[in-house]
Amino acid sequence: LFTYILKSDTKIEILPPKAKLNCTLLVNSCDKYKDILDLFFELLHRFWPDMPFDIVLSTESLEYTYEPLKIKNIHPENTGRDV
């Protein structure tokens, strides 16, 4: 499998499967949707098993893991929420 990247000048660049790109997959969610995270990450892994990007999950306070994916959890402050 190869990764196809559409450049801004509409040229397509073909990269080898394990090419390390300077990119991160950011998943924004909230704690109350924790019941669908298993399904989301299962489908992500099933349909994109060789995804070369780091995964970051942003939630309010949830610490989430899904094997075999390496997911970094972050919890940004809820600035402006009580304004």
SS3 assignment for 54-66: EEEEECCCCCCCE
Q: Is the pTM of this model over 0.75?
A: no
Q: What is the DSSP string of 9-34?
A: TS-EEEE-TT---S-EEEEE--GGGG
Q: Per-residue pLDDT tens for 8-32?
A: 555 556 666 655 667 899 999 999 9
Select the more confidently predicted residue: 76 or 13: 76
Token digits of residue 15: 């990269």
Select the more confidently predicted residue: 33 or 13: 33
Q: What is residue 14's predicted lDDT score, i.e. its pLDDT?
A: 63
Q: What percent of the chain has pLDDT over 90?
A: 57
